[in-house]
Chains A and B, each alone.
Chain A
C-alpha cells in the first residue's frame, strides 16, 4: 500500500514548455486534489475531482489543466509553463463526503517544479 505517489519529484522547465504531473493513489479514494505550496502561503487548491471522469476548478486554476480518466490517477498539466508556476505541487486524495473520514486528506510527497 503506497498511498499517494507523485511523479516526477523534481523538474526544471523553460518558459513555454509543457509537462504533466502524475498522481496515483491505491486507497480507492473518490476524491483527488492538486495543491500548490509557495513560501509564506498556505496550500492553495488548483483543481479537484470528486470522481472518475469529473474535474472542477479550485482557487488558482489558471494555467493548469487536469484529467481523471481512471479513479486512481489524477493528472495535472501545464501547457505553457511560466515562472509564476515555480512551486511545490502536492496531490492529495480522500474518501467521499459521505464518509466520516472525508476531511482526512492523504498527501503525496510533493513535486518541486522550477520554471526558468
Chain B
C-alpha cells in the first residue's frame, strides 16, 4: 500500500463537479510552476505548467491560475472523474536553476 501522504489535506468532490486545489508557494523569485498528479503506487505525472508572465493557462479539463501578489497557485479540474482521484502536488522553480520545490500535496477523492 501507499504510506506516503497519510496526513495530507483531503478534498472530497462529487463526480461531475469541478475541483479546485490550492497551493501557496514560498519563493517570490520563483518564475515557473508545475502541477503533478500522483496515483497510488506510482510516480508523479506532469499535468500542466505556467510561467510567471502568465496568470492563467488552460489544458484539457484543467486550468492553472497564478496569483503572484499573494504567491498562490490553483489547479481547477472540470467535471471531475473517478480517475482524477490522486494526490496533487504543486512545484515551483526558478529560471537558471535545476531544482524544483514541491509542496506537500493534496489528496483528491472523487465521490460516486
Contacts and interface: CB of A to CB of B under 8 A. Distances in A.
Interface in A85-100: 88, 90, 92, 97
A105 interface: yes
Given A38-B4, A88-B4, A109-B43, A45 B100 contact: yes
Given A39-B4, A39-B6, A90-B43, A104 B98 contact: no
B99 A40 contact: no
20 contacts: A37-B4, A38-B4, A39-B6, A42-B101, A42-B102, A42-B105, A43-B91, A43-B102, A45-B100, A48-B99, A50-B98, A88-B3, A88-B4, A103-B46, A104-B34, A104-B49, A105-B44, A105-B46, A105-B100, A107-B44
Q: Which of B49, B89, B98 has the most CB of A within 10 A?
A: B98
A21 interface: no
Interface residues of B, number: 29
Given A35-B102, A48-B99, A109-B43, 5 more contacts: A33-B98, A43-B91, A59-B99, A97-B96, A103-B49
Interface of B: 3-8, 32, 34, 36, 41-46, 49, 89, 91, 93, 95-96, 98-105
Contacts of A4: 43
B98 to A, nearest CB: 6
A59 B98 CA distance: 12
Contacts of A97: 95-96, 98
A2 interface: no
Contacts of A50: 98
Q: Which of B41, B44, B91, B105 has the most CB of A within 10 A?
A: B44
A43 B44 CA distance: 10
Contacts of B36: 105
